[in-house]
Amino acid sequence: MMRVLVVGAGAVGGHFGTLLVRAGVDVTFLVREARAERLRSDGVTLVAPDGTRTTTPVATVTARSLREQFDVVLLAVKSTAVAAALDDVAPAIGPGTSVVPLLNGIDHLVAIGERFGARHLLGGVCLVATQMDSDGAIRQLTPAGTIAVGELSGHVSERVEAITETFAPAGFETVASASIEQDMWEKWLFMAAGGAATVLLGGHVGQINPVKDGTDAIRAVIMEAASVLEAAGHSAREEALASVTSTLTAPGSTFATSLYRDFRDNRTTEVEPIIGGLCRIASQHSVPTPLLRAAAVRLRVHEGAVA
């Protein structure tokens, strides 16, 4: 049986990892000591979109006690915590371990490849809307949930097929992608445009679109982010751009990205990997991004206030 180590038991890692546990997959969570104690005593509680609560016992390990190697490592921490997570997870990396990052942005690929070697690295994209409630329960805000896994070279390998087969019984869709790097860029477009628009304009998309010029303002942010992908040689595919635009301009939708929810709730955010990183690439290619830069500045001011 394939052994899976989920690094982080927050809104993303806790959600997908617990669904895998329920499906009978051999899953262990690598977490900090305080989190491990709580999980050992209380398990993980998931709250479905309809409000149904289910609690699942889970296995945990800490960086201090991690000794065994795993077949798959799902890296599901905040992008700002990647460096520390790579230190913690190092003992789990064996000759055949595959590392699948479920992170925002793209810079982490270099950090993981340099630390463990490119042969261990797969591309990964997750699409899910979850948040951690004040009682520690993980609430799923919308029904959909997907993980895409693929070789960065673009072919579907035996190890990718093995991972998707192992994950298949869980309560989310798992996709073996032959275009995972492009998928990652397009998720970056979605997160940056959605985060910048909601932070700058001060609400979820259903609050922005009905007001005068609201939809036009969102479309302007989307096109600005899309122009960066084009300059970087990863132009968004037509269906991906249409999906981003549809989601961010849907009438009556309460959609907001995790970046906006963190900002709204006065928590630290992933401003640099999501928006700052895209602005850096824009500068390298002399692409003007005044809206993205304004959002980045607003979030940096926020970071200073909550630090």
Residue 172 · residue 145 · CB < 8 Å: yes
Same domain? For 25 and 41 the reply is yes
Residue 237's pLDDT is 98
Same domain? For 147 and 173 the reply is yes
Residue spans of alpha helices (H) in 202-272: 205-208, 214-231, 238-248, 258-264, 271
Angle, in degrees to the nearest 10, between helices 214-231 and 290-306? 100
Q: Kindly tell me the burial class for residue 50, based on how many C-beta atoms sit within 10 Å of its own C-beta (0-12, 13-18, 19 or more).
A: exposed
The total number of structural domains in the chain stands at: 2
User: How high is the mean pLDDT of the chain?
Assistant: 95
pLDDT per position as a tens digit, 259-269: 999 999 999 99
State the average pLDDT over residues 219-223.
98
State the average pLDDT over residues 214-228.
98
One-letter amino acid for residue 68 of the chain:
E
Same domain? For 221 and 199 the reply is yes
The band of 80, judged by pLDDT with boundaries at 50, 70 and 90, is: confident
Residue 226 has pLDDT above 80, yes or no: yes
Same domain? For 211 and 120 the reply is no
CATH number assigned to the domain comprising residue 205: 1.10.1040.10
Domain that holds residue 155: 3-178
State the average pLDDT over residues 75-103.
94
DSSP-derived pairing of the beta strands 3-7 and 26-30 = parallel
Q: Domain ends where: 178, 208, 228?
A: 178
Residue 79 has pLDDT above 90, yes or no: no
Give, in degrees to the nearest 5, the angle at Cα 209 between 207 and 215. 150
Residue 75 · residue 85 · CB < 8 Å: yes
- State pTM to two decimals: 0.94
Tell me the C-alpha distance between 298 and 189, whole Å: 19
Q: Domain ends where: 128, 153, 178?
A: 178
DSSP-derived pairing of the beta strands 93-101 and 70-75 = parallel
Q: Domain ends where: 130, 145, 178?
A: 178
